[in-house]
Amino acid sequence: MQKVGRNDPCPCGSGRKYKACCGLYHAGIQYPDTVERMIRSRFTAYAIGDVNYLWRTTHPDNEARAGKTEADFKRETLHYCKKVDFTRLVIHETESEDERGIARGTLTAWYRVAGQPEDSLTERSEFVRVDGRLLYLTGVQVDVQAGDAPQGADD
């Protein structure tokens, strides 16, 4: 788990300082209004162990949250964050909400677990708006096609 100061580079890879990037969302000053911003802010929350933010941005029907108390979710998520060092994020694509209200994004997150080489996970995430705010609904692992180019920061 990373320790990030307000003036440090944001772990999401945007090139901005944490306080002017994901820190705004984690502190509750702003709420991410795009899929890309939500992916970046959740990646950073995992990287720094901000389980309060992860709880707030995870849909109640998500399998990691469904049927759990807030305390159980946070305890389990913090344990995971302490074991996994998230090192890099690439967002391959994002899609606006469809006719069912589902927005999507494909990302690759690189990470390290103590004693193991760096590895990555590519996920196709789904988000849905509740009371006007995007929430992480679900994600499935996918293979990235050789031609998929990473998407740059949206701000």
pLDDT surpasses 90 at 83:
yes
pLDDT recorded at residue 152: 47
pLDDT surpasses 60 at 148:
no
Task: Classify 70 in phi/psi space as left (phi over 0), alpha (psi -120 to 50) or beta.
Answer: alpha
pLDDT recorded at residue 145: 54
Across 34-50, average pLDDT: 97
Indicate the pLDDT class of residue 153, thresholds 50, 70 and 90: very low
pLDDT surpasses 70 at 155:
no
pLDDT surpasses 90 at 1:
no
pLDDT surpasses 90 at 17:
yes
Burial class (CB in 10 A: 0-12, 13-18, 19+), 43: buried
Across 31-39, average pLDDT: 96
Handedness of CA 17, 155, 27, 54 (dihedral sign): negative
pLDDT recorded at residue 147: 42
For residues 120, 61, 12 and 18, what is the CA-based torsion angle, rounded to 10 degrees? -150
Cα–Cα distance for residue pair 123/11, rounded to 1 Å: 18
Across 94-104, average pLDDT: 94
Residue 50 has a CB neighbour count (10 Å cut-off) of 25
User: Residue 13: CB partners within 8 Å, gap ≥ 6?
Assistant: 40, 88, 89, 90, 153
Can you list the positions of beta strands (E) in the chain?
84-95, 102-113, 119-130, 133-141
Cα–Cα distance for residue pair 134/103, rounded to 1 Å: 9
Mean pLDDT of the chain: 91
pLDDT recorded at residue 143: 85
Indicate the pLDDT class of residue 2, thresholds 50, 70 and 90: confident
